[in-house]
Amino acid sequence: MDDITTFGRAIEFVAVALTLAIVVRVVAARIGLPTAALLLTVTALASDFSERLAGLLTFQDVQRVATLALIVILFDGGMGIGLRRFRSAAVPITVVGVVGTFATAPLVAIAAHYLLGFDWTVALLIGAAVAPTDPAVTFSVLAGKEVEGRAGTILEGESGFNDPVGIALMIGMIELAIHPDASVAEVAVEFLREMGIGLAVGVGAGVVLLYLLRRVPLPDRSLYPITVLLGAFLTYGLAAITHGSGFLAVFVAGIVIGDAAFPRRAEVREFHTALADLGELAVFVALGLTIELGFIFADSLWWQGLVLAVVLGFVVRPLVVLPLLLPARLSRGERLFVTFSGLKGAVPILLASLAVVGGTEQSEEIYGIVFVIVLFSVAVQGTLVPTVANRLGVPMIDADHGPEDRQS
């Protein structure tokens, strides 16, 4: 009976926490703030005032929650883009997602080293953590909206594509930080292998899943979204056990089936969008509970994080992204919009948690600084995205997933 009571309390806590997260989301929408900003702040404050909440989740727990959430978020994001849209902007998505991520990390590290005095190892870990943009925040800020033209496709594609790149980069940096005998060449080979296997698994899984959905009729309409969800998790698992990037695999699989015709397509999209929303709420609640605001303010990490946030958002990203977008068929306003809207979120905090679990030097400081950078990005840049789009002449329209999408 004690086990049943304990389990019941755990379920009750999760339900209450996510219900409150929905309330926070409603409030955030009414005051014009991105959900992530308010959720991170509220949960971080709650954990500071409650010792029970502060010790509720370990970093390993948070990584598991974030992994499950990102599988759903990336798969749904891939489906939202679809193969036709991706083809129209494949080159800039790939270039910004890969080259942009690798270029951002050392530039942030240079700022952390020379402006704030961090040694090179710590500076490079901070740079690697904040290099990728975040799909949860990007898709959340654009929720119900679609940026017309290629700018929106590039922005959404980059946020999904550069997460696997950033994760592989961070793991490589941790390997170099804690194993002096590790070489850059070994890390590079491992990165290429992860990306290659992840891409191959994602394409193959998407093709197989689409074939099965079209050729194997299911007896109940509710089985279609469940089958697709299981396909996403199988895709991640297959990529992971073959030493590939599971996140890249699920994102690519989502793109493959995204705009293809198959039975109950509209129901599948609605189901996965709802799950992605739940995943977003869960991951930001979990991440917020691991933040110690008292530590961040006591050790002056807040101003160090703000310095790097401003440098990253208004110096580093323009230096990196604008040249990479020059060959793309975009207007000046669209280039500036994509450059401004490179939002940070759950993924950078997740990457910083890898440094904590890995036992790297000054890992708690890294985690606190990355949190401040993320909070600045979602609260300031995320809030300004619609205004910036309007000023730059980039139209944001209501996304249309009407009855014409419905397949039976």
How confident is the model at residue 262, as a pLDDT? 93
Which residues neighbour 322 within 8 Å (Cβ) at sequence distance 6 or greater?
Answer: 335, 336, 339
401 pLDDT above the threshold of 60 = no
Average confidence (pLDDT) over 221-247: 95
d(CA 119, CA 397): 46
> In the prediction, which pLDDT does 407 show?
40
Residues 292-302: what's their mean pLDDT? 84
**What are the residue boundaries of the structural domains of the chain, listed by start?**
2-399
Q: Which of 101-115, 328-342, 389-403 has the lowest mean pLDDT?
A: 389-403
Mean per-residue pLDDT, 177-182:
76
> Does residue 3 surpass a pLDDT of 80?
no
Report which listed range, 4-18, 149-163, 230-244, 266-280, is most confident. Answer: 230-244
Return the H-helix or E-strand segment holding 352.
helix 346-358
pTM across the whole model: 0.88
**Given a cut of 60, is residue 404 above it in pLDDT?**
no
Crossing angle (nearest 10°) for helices 101-116 and 150-178? 60
Q: What is the mean pLDDT of residues 377-381?
A: 90
Based on its alpha-carbon atoms, the radius of gyration of the chain, rounded to whole angstroms, reads 20
pLDDT at 408: 35
Nearest Cα to Cα of residue 368 among 292, 309, 298, 316: 292
**In this structure, what token pair is assigned to residue 149?**
């033209």
- Nearest alpha carbon to residue 87 among 333, 272, 256, 335: 256
Report H helices in 216-245.
223-241
Q: How far apart are CA 110 and CA 113, in angstroms?
A: 5
Q: Give me the CATH code for the 2-399 domain, please.
A: 1.20.1530.20
Q: Which of 32, 154, 73, 50 is nearest to 350 (CA)?
A: 73
Q: What is the largest CA-CA distance in the chain?
A: 66
pLDDT in tens, 52-77: 776 778 888 888 888 999 999 999 98
Give residue-wise pLDDT tens across range 103-159.
999 999 999 999 999 999 999 999 999 999 887 777 666 655 667 778 888 988 898
